[in-house]
Amino acid sequence: MAIIVFLDGVMRSENKTPIFEGISLYKSLNANGLVMLVCEDAEEAARWCKEHKLEDIDGFISNKTVGEYENKDFLKIQHQQSSGPLHLVVLADLELAKKCLENGIKTLVWLHPKYLSAKFRPDGRTGRKSWDDLVKELDHQIDLKMKDERLE
């Protein structure tokens, strides 16, 4: 069983900090079969994995594998397909996921919030409205609907 996991966007963020949930996903997938990591540079990715104590790496698919082409990420997936059946691709790029699905490749899209303002977080203190404010807003919306002539 071959699985491809994209290192950037799934296991690490843009500034190379680890995404622990993505690493957990990788470890759970790695227990079940061959998992290849897709990256830009295999040497840099191997160093990053070693720094973060990911030592059970099956292999890397880097730019050296497919060359410098326009659609290199999809070529990396096709390269792995050429060496045997591909069961799953885990990635964070929606356009690439669409292309994979159009070509019949099972895809798991990994979405991780890059930024979430404190006022939108459940544990954030700012931005919370009191219950009375919520009731007033609801009443105001109902009044606006009642007065709207388009809804009659």
Contact 91, 6 (CB under 8 A): yes
Architecture in CATH of 2-109: 3-Layer(aba) Sandwich (3.40)
Domain borders along the chain are: 2-109, 118-151
pLDDT in tens, 40-91: 899 999 999 999 998 888 889 888 877 777 788 899 899 888 888 899 999 9
Mean pLDDT on 83-107: 93
- Higher-confidence residue: 125 or 18? 18
- Tell me, rounded to whole angstroms, the distance of Cα 130 from its chain centroid: 35
Task: Collect contacts of 9-13 with beta carbons under 8 A, ≥24 apart.
Answer: 9/91, 9/92, 9/93, 9/110, 9/112, 10/90, 10/91, 10/92, 10/110, 10/112, 11/37, 12/48, 13/112, 13/114
pLDDT in tens, 131-141: 898 899 999 99
In angstroms, the CA 4 to CA 2 distance is 7
Instruction: Report if pTM > 0.85.
Output: no
